[in-house]
């Protein structure tokens, strides 16, 4: 997939919480959005990055991109699917 700029509509930082709140906080942030809008999530390496993308995908949303900030954190871009 070619690289492209993704513009987020909202931003959520989940580096201050641990599992399962990481997932819950992301889900709550997604609830605020409309179908098709994009959420950018700032998350930690380790358990959050291994579980949150998959869990969000299982909720039916679309994972657009995951960027490694190379400082122990990541940026995850999620497109909301459904209202």
Partner 1 sequence: MAMDYATLKKGGFMRQKQKNHFSLRLSVVGGQVSTEQLAAITEVAEKYGHGYIHLTSRQGIEIPFIRLEDIDEVKEALACGGATPGVCGPRVRTITACQGSAVCPNGCIETEELAKELNDRYFGKELPHKFKFGITGCQNNCLKAEENDLGIKGGVRVSWIQDKCISCGLCVKQCREGAISIEDGKITIDAEKCNYCGRCAFACPTDAYDTVPGYLISFGGLFGNQINKGTLIVPFVEDKETLFAICDAALKFFEDNAKSGERFKFTIDRIGKDKLDDVIWEAYNRKNK
From the CB of 28, what's the least distance to partner 1, in Å?
19
Residue 22, phi then psi, degrees to nearest 5:
-55, -50
Q: How far is the CB of 18 from partner 1 (least distance, A)?
A: 18
Active-site residue (options: 19, 33, 64, 66): 19
17 included as an active-site residue: no
Residue number, 11 or 62, with CB nearest to partner 1:
62
The answer to whether 19 and 48 have CB atoms below 8 angstroms apart is yes
Residues of this chain that bind partner 1 (CB under 8 A): 1, 49-50, 53-54, 56-57, 62-66, 68
List active site positions.
19
């Amino acid at each position: 997939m070619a690289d492209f700029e993704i513009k987020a509509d909202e931003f959520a930082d989940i580096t201050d919480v641990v599992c399962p709140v990481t997932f819950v906080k992301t889900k709550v942030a997604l609830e605020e959005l409309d179908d098709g809008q994009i959420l950018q999530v700032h998350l930690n390496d380790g358990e959050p990055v291994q579980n949150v993308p998959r869990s969000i995908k299982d909720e039916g949303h679309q994972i657009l991109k995951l960027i490694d900030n190379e400082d122990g954190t990541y940026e995850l871009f999620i497109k909301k699917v459904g209202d």
